[in-house]
A and B are shown apart, each in its own frame.
Chain A
Amino acid sequence: MSEPVKIRPAPTPTNLTQRFWQGAADEKLMLQFDPASNRFQFYPRPASLETGKQNLEWRTASGKGIIYSFTITHVPAAGFEDKVPYAVGLVELDEGVRVVANLVNVDPEQLAIGQRVRLCWETLPDDKRYFAFELDD
Chain B
Amino acid sequence: MTQNHLINRDIAIVAYGETPIERRSGKTTFEFAAAAMEQILSRTGLRPADIGGFATNIAHSESANQYATAYLCDSLGLTPRFMQVSDHGGGAALASVSRGAMALQAGLCDCVLVLGADAPTTQWHGKNLGFRPEFWDPTGIQGPPGAFGFLMHRYMHQYQLKFEALGKLAVTQRDGALANPNALPSLRKAITLDDYLNSRIVSSPLRLLDSVMFADGGAGVLMMRTERARALGLTRFVHPTAYAEITNFNGRATLPDITQTGFSVVGPEVLDKAGLKPAGVRMFHPYDDFLIAVMLQLEQSGFCKGGEGSDFLLATDISRTGALPINTGGGQISCGQIGLASGFTNLVEAVRQMFGEAEGRQVTDPRNAMVTGIGIIPYGGNWSVSAAMILEQG
**What is the interface of chain A, defined by CB distance below 8 A to chain B?**
8-9, 11-14, 17, 20, 39-43, 49-50, 68-77, 79-80, 83, 86, 88, 90, 92, 96-102, 113-114, 124, 130
Contact = CB atoms under 8 A, between A and B. Distances in A.
Nearest to A122: B138
Which of B140, B201, B203 has its CB near the most chain A CB atoms (within 10 A)? B140
Given A12-B133, A96-B255, A71 B146 contact: yes
B133 A77 contact: no
Q: Which of under 10, 10 to 19, 20 to 34, or 35 or more describes the interface residues of B?
A: 20 to 34
21 contacts: A8-B140, A9-B137, A11-B137, A13-B134, A17-B134, A42-B135, A43-B379, A49-B251, A69-B150, A69-B258, A70-B150, A71-B206, A73-B141, A74-B201, A74-B202, A75-B142, A77-B142, A83-B140, A98-B255, A102-B140, A113-B153
B154 A9 contact: no
A122 to B, nearest CB: 9
Interface of B: 131, 133-142, 145-146, 149-151, 153-154, 157, 200-206, 251-252, 254-255, 258, 379-380
B125 to A, nearest CB: 17
Contacts of A88: 139-141, 146
A40 B203 contact: no
Contacts of A83: 140
Considering the complex of A and B, which 6 residue pairs feature the smallest CB-CB distances, nearest first?
A: A71-B149, A80-B140, A11-B134, A69-B154, A72-B204, A88-B141
Which secondary structure characterizes the binding site on chain B? mixed
A56 to B, nearest CB: 14
Given A102-B140, A113-B154, A97 B254 contact: yes
Nearest to B253: A49
A92 B255 contact: yes
Given A71-B204, A113-B153, A9 B138 contact: yes
B150 A71 contact: yes
Contacts of A99: 380
A8 B140 CA distance: 8
Nearest to A132: B139
Given A39-B254, A69-B157, A75-B203, 9 more contacts: A9-B137, A9-B138, A73-B141, A77-B140, A88-B140, A88-B146, A100-B135, A113-B157, A130-B138
